[in-house]
């Protein structure tokens, strides 16, 4: 009888799924997509765990993957948690952590990260280290279909969780970026067939090609799309960031702005046609890509409501835009830097040529972030981002084939000093309202209606007061917070789920 009851409960857990309405709502009992919903805000309206009681938070359950560090954000749908590392996907009971199924597949390619899965109806979708896209039956973990998106032998792989929009899967591409261009594809939800493709590097003669010296350089220009974007259903636009150009440091062989690398682009979701763009780091020579999560905000700006898009870029600048038109409203540095001479009329930073890497070495100062997901709280009006400030020396090396210093192809940056920090920015101005040194680095941020911000600080999982940044709770989980916290409610109990190296921890108030 006990076995029958357990089987019935498991069948009940796995009987539902994700619909479009769920993706359009604030996440509460479910966290159905990578960022919780389409806005990218990573804000939970749950407030059972709040500033008055978070100090009593305790571990509810844990799940040991016995695999590589989990850089994913788990999904929770109808009481089931879905999470991944490269080559593996699991489903577990979100109340207890009990495994329901496990899918594994050996692959070639780069195993750097799996940043999560997507779900729609009763299917789970994810990308692989060998650049395949796979659909699983969410009830059993059995494979439904598999398609090749790109050839891994050229260095392509898929690390980002796909984004479900309408009847499409938006699939970003990762890669070592050497001698290859980046792209974003829309694939059919039902069978994985290609619907459209947007290339980050234009073809000769297309708009943007004039910002490259020649077709040969463009053909290996970079611009990977390896962080999931966001979607505005009213405007029918997706917003996606692109990676840095190549060669990374040798800007001398690719004179020009190098569009559309290091850019935030707005694309029509039905056709893949670009509506507008902003380049967050023109002619980048220090790996200051735009692979960060943009956040959609419906809020006040200069006394009237606006449909806004906010982004803290790896360039060290905070951007606030009208998301319908791409009009620049604010471009503000969120820390010290020496590489930019200001911003142009479009709100784009203006790079200083004398800070570019050289054979003798160039001194570089910058404040930056990375793929770590930011968060926005509509309650505080603050944009939270993990970042760092540091100094380095950028250098170039002679061409390996010719030995000539004028044919620079390689280079790098040697770090002299850096310090991680969490910044809380006023979304209307980009000004820093409070900051914490030692926070962040390698993980993202969750904010909640309970007045809390969850992140990593000096190896501890911490809950901060969202208004002031004061520490209200911390725990050393025995590893690094490698993914991003998320929250859900089941049976009247709120949980906070955190990936820590290869372990998934669930935290809740004592019962």
pLDDT single digits (tens) 343-399: 999 999 999 999 999 989 999 999 999 999 999 999 999 999 999 999 999 999 877
Using DSSP's 3-state secondary structure scheme, residue 114 falls into: coil
Scored b (16 or more CB within 10 A) or e, 265-281 reads bbbebeebebbbbbbbb
CA separation, residue 269 to residues 104, 184, 403 (Å): 32, 11, 47
What span, in angstroms and rounded, lies between the C-alpha atoms of 289 and 224? 9
pLDDT in tens, 258-268: 999 999 999 99
- What pLDDT is recorded for position 3? 38
Is 177's pLDDT higher than 60?
Answer: no
Two tokens, residue 133? 């896209």
Q: Residue 342 falls within a domain, yes or no?
A: no
CA separation, residue 364 to residues 185, 357, 395, 414, 415 (Å): 35, 9, 10, 10, 9
Is 187's pLDDT higher than 80?
Answer: yes
**CB of 136 closer than 8 Å to CB of 103:** yes
What span, in angstroms and rounded, lies between the C-alpha atoms of 120 and 17? 6
Q: Residue 261 falls within a domain, yes or no?
A: yes
Average pLDDT of the segment spanning 182-207:
97
Domain span including residue 121: 2-104+112-337+349-508
Q: Which helix (H) or strand (E) holds 425?
A: strand 410-426
Quote the number of domains for the chain: 1
Q: With bands split at pLDDT 50, 70 and 90, how would you rate the model's confidence at 478?
A: confident
Q: Is 199 considered catalytic here?
A: no
**Residue 64's CB: how many other CB atoms inside 10 A?**
10
Please, what is the average pLDDT of the chain? 93
- What pLDDT is recorded for position 405? 59
Q: Residue 143 falls within a domain, yes or no?
A: yes
Of 87, 93, 287, 501, the active-site residue reads 287
DSSP 27: P
Sorted by sequence, the CB contacts under 8 Å of residue 408 that are 6+ apart come out as: 247, 250, 252, 253, 359, 396, 397, 398, 399
- Provide the strand spans (E) within 168-236: 168-172, 174-175, 183-188, 194-199, 230-232
Is 404's pLDDT higher than 70?
Answer: no
Q: Residue 245 falls within a domain, yes or no?
A: yes
Q: What is the per-residue DSSP string for 444-497? A: --EEETTSEEEEEETTEEEEEETTT--EEEEE--SS-B-S--EEEEETTEEEEE
- What pLDDT is recorded for position 173? 95
Q: Residue 344 falls within a domain, yes or no?
A: no
Is 507's pLDDT higher than 70?
Answer: yes
Query: What values do phi and psi take at 136, rounded to 5?
Result: -115, 150
Q: Residue 373 falls within a domain, yes or no?
A: yes
Is 228's pLDDT higher than 70?
Answer: yes
pLDDT in tens, 414-430: 999 999 999 999 999 99
Which among 163, 149, 58 has a CA at the least distance from the CA of 117?
163
Find the CATH number of the domain harbouring 481.
2.140.10.10
- What pLDDT is recorded for position 479? 83
Using DSSP's 3-state secondary structure scheme, residue 25 falls into: coil
pTM, full prediction: 0.95
What span, in angstroms and rounded, lies between the C-alpha atoms of 166 and 26? 18
Q: Residue 7 falls within a domain, yes or no?
A: yes
- Classify strands 99-104 and 88-93 as parallel, antiparallel or unpaired: antiparallel
Average pLDDT of the segment spanning 57-76:
94
Average pLDDT of the segment spanning 31-41:
98
Q: Residue 241 falls within a domain, yes or no?
A: yes
pLDDT in tens, 112-143: 899 999 999 999 999 999 999 999 999 999 99
- Classify strands 446-448 and 43-44 as parallel, antiparallel or unpaired: parallel
- What pLDDT is recorded for position 302? 94
């Amino acid at each position: 009888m006990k076995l029958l009851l357990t089987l019935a409960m498991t069948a009940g857990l796995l009987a539902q799924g994700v619909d479009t309405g769920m993706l359009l709502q604030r996440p509460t009992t479910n966290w159905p997509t990578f960022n919780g919903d389409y806005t990218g805000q990573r804000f939970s309206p749950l407030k059972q765990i709040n500033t008055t009681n978070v100090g009593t938070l305790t571990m509810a359950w844990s799940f040991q993957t016995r695999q590589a560090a989990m850089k994913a954000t788990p999904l929770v749908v109808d009481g089931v948690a879905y999470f991944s590392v490269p080559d593996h996907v699991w489903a577990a009971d979100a109340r207890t952590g009990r495994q329901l199924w496990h899918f594994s597949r050996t692959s070639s390619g780069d195993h750097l990260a799996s940043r999560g899965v997507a779900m729609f109806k009763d299917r789970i979708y994810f990308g692989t280290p060998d650049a395949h896209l796979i659909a699983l039956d969410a009830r059993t973990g059995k494979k439904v279909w598999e398609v090749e998106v790109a050839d891994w032998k050229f260095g392509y792989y898929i690390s980002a969780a796909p984004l479900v929009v309408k009847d499409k899967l938006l699939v970003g591409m990762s890669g070592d970026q050497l001698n290859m261009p980046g792209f974003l594809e829309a694939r059919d939800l039902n069978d994985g067939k290609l619907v459209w493709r947007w290339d980050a590097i234009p073809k000769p003669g297309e708009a943007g090609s004039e910002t490259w010296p020649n077709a040969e350089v463009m053909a290996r220009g970079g611009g990977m799309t390896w962080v999931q974007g966001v979607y505005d259903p009213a405007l029918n636009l997706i917003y996606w960031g692109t990676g840095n150009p190549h060669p990374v440091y040798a800007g001398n062989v690719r004179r020009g702005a190098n569009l559309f690398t290091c850019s935030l682009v707005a694309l029509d979701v039905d056709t893949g046609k670009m509506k507008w763009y902003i380049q967050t780091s023109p002619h980048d020579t220090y790996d200051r890509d735009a692979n960060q999560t943009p956040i959609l905000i419906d809020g006040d700006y200069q006394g009237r409501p606006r449909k806004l898009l906010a982004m803290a870029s790896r360039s060290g600048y905070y951007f606030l835009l009208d998301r319908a038109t791409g009009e620049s409203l604010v471009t503000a540095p969120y820390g010290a830097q020496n590489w930019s001479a200001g911003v142009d009329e479009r709100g784009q930073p203006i790079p200083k040529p004398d800070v570019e890497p050289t054979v003798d070495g160039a001194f570089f100062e910058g404040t930056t972030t990375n793929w770590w997901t930011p968060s926005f709280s509509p309650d505080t009006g603050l944009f939270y981002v993990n970042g760092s400030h540091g100094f380095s020396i950028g250098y170039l090396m002679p061409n390996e084939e010719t030995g000539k210093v004028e044919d620079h192809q390689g280079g790098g940056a040697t770090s002299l000093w850096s310090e991680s920090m969490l910044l809380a920015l006023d979304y209307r101005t980009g000004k820093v309202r409070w900051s914490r040194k030692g926070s962040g680095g390698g993980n993202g941020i969750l904010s909640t209606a309970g007045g809390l911000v969850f992140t990593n600080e000096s190896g501890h999982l911490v809950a901060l007061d969202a208004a002031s940044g004061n520490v209200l709770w911390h725990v050393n989980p025995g590893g690094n917070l490698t993914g991003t916290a998320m929250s859900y409610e089941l049976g009247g109990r709120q949980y906070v789920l955190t990936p820590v190296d290869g372990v998934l921890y669930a935290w809740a108030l004592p019962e």
